[in-house]
Structure 1
Amino acid sequence: MSAIGRLASHAGVAGLWLLHWLPLPVLAALGVALGELLFRFAGERRHVVLTNLRLCFPALDDAARRALARRHFHALGRSLLERSLLWWAPQALLQRLVRLDGAERMRSLLDAGRPVIMLAPHFIGLDMGGSRIAMDFDSVSIYARQRNPVFDRWFLHGRSRFGDQQLLAREDGARPTVKAMKAGRPFYYLPDMDYRGRDSIFVPFFGVPAATITGLPRLARLAGAAVVPVLTRMLPGGQGYVVEFGEAWADFPSGDVEADTLRMNRWIEDAVRSMPEQYYWVHRRFKTRPPGEPRPY
């Protein structure tokens, strides 16, 4: 990394530190303004978002998809600036801003000695939810190192600020994750991106074949774990966030890996429909294609 790049990164971190002192409604408004700039000028990412929306919501016309994309960038801008709270805000403030709803469902499973996988799809509030969960539960999760070493330091700081968190690399494999779950650590699991890995299969996501990793049923089987769906919703107007713990899935895994992976994708689809602007549409979810299919991006 060049000296100029490192200096610019430190300046960006300093700017976020200044912003974290602002009240959340003000920070949220600034985030929306940032999102509007990103929507207007980040042409490559806007193209990715609009392509994803065209594939997943073909019934929407161009104007409706563009309006949804704009709302997505507004929420994304908020999440970028509100990350400053995860890095520096006091724990008591974050506990007031981020409410846990239904956490007793997971607590009862853990108290009974049952390993738990928290299924947490890529909604923009997932880091806020993960940090809030860490205040109440010592968990295990996967940490992907950032290319920028300055931001990597702060991302790692934010992920490990609260509680006794165990962060694993994806290349560590399943064994340490299963061991951690069996030791009583719930696993904060984000399996809904295109990782191009050998453990992926093509199953529909909004009717489009999507390369989807099969880790959820495999890990649930290896650890004897219950799957608890977890969604983090960003509330409007700087009102904060709510982390929703659902009921543990019955009859999972079923023994049919493809059917179980499809069940996961269908549940994520339902969650996306409940807050479509908050899903992480800037990711190239369909970059890996079945043989012979053109790349959509």
Structure 2
Amino acid sequence: MYLLRRLGSWLGVAFLWSLHLLPNRAIAAVGRALGSVLYRFGRGRVTRINLALCFPEMPEAEREKLARAHFRSLGRALAEQSIFWFAPIERAMAMVKVTGGEHFDRLRGQPVIVFAPHFIGLNLGGPKVAYTWPGSASIYSRQKNPVLDRLLYRGRVRFGSPRLLSRQDGMLAIVRTIREGRMFYFLPDMDFGPRDAIFAPFFGVPTATVTALPRLAKLARAHVVPVITRQLEDGYEVIVYPPWENYPTDDVEADVRRMNAFIEERVLEMPEQYFWAHKRFKTRPPGEPNPYQKKK
């Protein structure tokens, strides 16, 4: 069984490698088709549940259309990842433009946390930021699959040689890295369980949200700069927003609410591009059922 899994992993890598030989438009087309398959046999159910929770007023047929559009965009992003892993760096960087980069330029050398929510272009926008502003840092979680781990790690260090930290390194290691003047690329909008999280509204749903962003910003005395990567018709756009003023405050709950409210605003601008396939609401307040558990 182990050898079969390894063989399957290498076949997947070979497929991705072959994709990067195609023109960009062909890769995008293959990716959209792949996304349609993933919707049917992958996490379509999770996405439908998430959309029903966040957009209860939306007609079911419209949510279904949105879910399918999400998976087509997600599949395209996965396929285009092959360019970032295997193609020349110049080709990958040409796919992504930056808007608002002057906000990073003004803060060069200062402690900065790049607040990067989970939109589907995240793994293509991140390398653009690391390459354009070398000396960044982020968290890297080791993968159980050694083939996938090697591929992901190589892809992460390929652009701008970022420093990769482990969650096991702890908060102080991250704070020291930020204080050194490295931009810390941070993705705090996932359900990591109840530890170090509070329930804050996300589209009106009480959502377990980690408090690490305001806590890190306070400990490192860092500027928080939101960054969104948008998938375009012919590439991607990294949008760098102005640093947040008066953040963090002494009210952690208010700071977390501000973070979720910012994500909500961006989701409404491009609802098909948020990462709806993640079980964002699996951690519930006491007494509330897990919405993803199938009823017996």
Give the TM-score, by structure 1 length.
0.96
- For structure 1, list consecutive stretches of 5 or more residues without a partner in the other structure: none
Deviations 1:12-48 (A, max 9, x none): 1011111011111110011111111112232xx1110
Across the two proteins, how many residue pairs are aligned to each other? Answer: 291
Indicate yes or no: 2:138 matched with 1:120. no
2:65 match: 67
Report the AA paired with residue 125 of structure 1: G
What is the correspondence of 1:234-273 to structure 2 with a 5 Å cutoff? 234-236=231-233, 239-273=234-268
Deviations 1:206-257 (A, max 9, x none): 1000000001100000011111010001112xx0101000000010001100
Residues 231 and 237 of structure 2 are in contact (CA less than 8 Å); yes or no, is this contact kept in structure 1? Answer: yes
Pick aligned residue for 1:154 from 118, 142, 151 = 151
Between the aligned partners of 1:32 and 1:206, the Cα distance in structure 2 is 27
Compare 193-202 and 205-214 and name the one that shifted more. Answer: 193-202
Report the AA paired with residue 101 of structure 1: T
Identity %: 54
1:215 match: 212
RMSD after superposition: 1.0
Cα distance, 1:147 vs structure 2 = 2.2
Indicate yes or no: 2:83 matched with 1:85. yes
Between the aligned partners of 1:25 and 1:72, the Cα distance in structure 2 is 18
Deviations 1:181-203 (A, max 9, x none): 11110010000000014210101
Deviations 1:34-93 (A, max 9, x none): 111112232xx1110000000001111110000000001101111111111111111111
1:20 match: 20
Give the TM-score, by structure 2 length.
0.96
Residues 134 and 163 of structure 1 are in contact (CA less than 8 Å); yes or no, is this contact kept in structure 2? Answer: yes
Residues 253 and 260 of structure 1 are in contact (CA less than 8 Å); yes or no, is this contact kept in structure 2? Answer: yes
Residues 33 and 74 of structure 1 are in contact (CA less than 8 Å); yes or no, is this contact kept in structure 2? Answer: yes
Residues 52 and 285 of structure 1 are in contact (CA less than 8 Å); yes or no, is this contact kept in structure 2? Answer: yes
Between the aligned partners of 1:275 and 1:220, the Cα distance in structure 2 is 28
2:221 match: 224
- For structure 2, list consecutive stretches of 5 or more residues without a partner in the other structure: none
Cα distance, 1:180 vs structure 2 = 1.1
Between the aligned partners of 1:171 and 1:124, the Cα distance in structure 2 is 26
